[in-house]
Structure 1
Amino acid sequence: MSEFDRGIALTARGGGRYEGELGEGWRIGGGVNGGLLLAFAGHALSLAAGPHRDPVSVSGYYLSASVPGPATVDTEIVRRGGSLTTGTAVLLQDGEERLRVLATYGDLDAFEGEVRTTAQPPVMPPPEQCIGVEHAPKEMIAEAALLERFDLRLDPATVGWALGQPSKEGRIQGWFRLADGRDADPLSLLLVADALPPVTFDLGLPGWAPTVELTVHVRCRPAAGWLRVVHATRNLAGGYFEEDAEVWDADGRLVAQSRQLARAPRQWGTRRS
Structure 2
Amino acid sequence: MTMHPLDIATKLTPAGEGRWTGHTSPAYWNMMGPFGGVTAAVMLQAALNAPQRIGDPVALTVNFCAPIAEGAFTIDLKEVRTNRSTQHWSMELSQEGGGIAASASAVFAIRRETWDHQPATPPAIAPHDTLTRFDTAGRIAWAANYDMRFGEGELVYEPRPDAEPGPARSVLWMADHPARPLDFTALSAIADAFIVRIFHVRGRPVPAGTVSITTYFHTDEAGLAANGAAPLIGMADSKVFRKGYFDQSAELWSADGRLLATSVQTVYYKE
What is the TM-score when the length of structure 1 is the normalising length?
Answer: 0.87
Hey, what does 2:208 align to over in structure 1?
Answer: 209
For each residue in 1:38-86, what CA deviation from the matched residue of structure 2 results, as whole angstroms up to 9, or x when unmatched? 1101100112262425321111111001133211100000011222110
* 1:259 equivalent in alignment to 2:258: no
Instruction: Give the distance between the partners of 1:176 and 1:115, measured in 2 at CA.
Output: 26
Q: Aligned ranges for residues 84-163 of structure 1 at < 5 Å?
A: 84-95=86-97, 96-107=99-110, 110-113=111-114, 116-134=117-135, 136=136, 141-142=138-139, 144-155=140-151, 157-159=152-154, 161-163=156-158
Instruction: Give the distance between the partners of 1:105 and 1:98, measured in 2 at CA.
Output: 23
- Please tell me the residue identity of whatever aligns with 1:19: T
Q: How far off its partner does 1:205 sit?
A: 5.2
Deviates more, 1:165-174 or 1:175-184: 165-174
CA contact (8 A) 2:158 2:203 kept: no
Instruction: Give the distance between the partners of 2:65 and 2:13, measured in 1 at CA.
Output: 24
Which 5+ residue runs of structure 1 have no aligned equivalent? Answer: 267-273
Instruction: Give the distance between the partners of 1:265 and 1:197, measured in 2 at CA.
Output: 16
- Please tell me the residue identity of whatever aligns with 1:242: D
CA contact (8 A) 2:157 2:204 kept: no
Which 5+ residue runs of structure 2 have no aligned equivalent? Answer: none
CA contact (8 A) 2:56 2:108 kept: yes
Hey, what does 1:177 align to over in structure 2?
Answer: 175
The count of aligned residue pairs is 258
Q: Aligned ranges for residues 32-111 of structure 1 at < 5 Å?
A: 32-48=34-50, 50-52=52-54, 54-95=56-97, 96-107=99-110, 110-111=111-112
Structure ranking higher on relative contact order (CA contacts 8 Å, 6+ apart): 1
CA contact (8 A) 1:90 1:97 kept: yes
The percent identity for this pair of structures is 24
Give the secondary-structure state (helix, strand or coil) at the position aligned to 2:156. helix
Q: 1:199 to 1:114 in 2, by over 3 A?
A: farther
Q: How far off its partner does 1:164 sit?
A: 5.2
Correspondence for 1:232 among 207, 230, 237: 237
Q: 1:160 to 1:89 in 2, by over 3 A?
A: closer
Hey, what does 2:17 align to over in structure 1?
Answer: 15
- Higher percent of residues as helix: 1
Q: CA RMSD in A?
A: 2.1
Q: 1:212 to 1:73 in 2, by over 3 A?
A: same
For each residue in 1:162-196, what CA deviation from the matched residue of structure 2 results, as whole angstroms up to 9, or x when unmatched? 45579723112211111121121122111011102
- Moved beyond 4 Å, runs of 4+: 163-167
What is the TM-score when the length of structure 2 is the normalising length?
Answer: 0.88
CA contact (8 A) 2:76 2:93 kept: yes
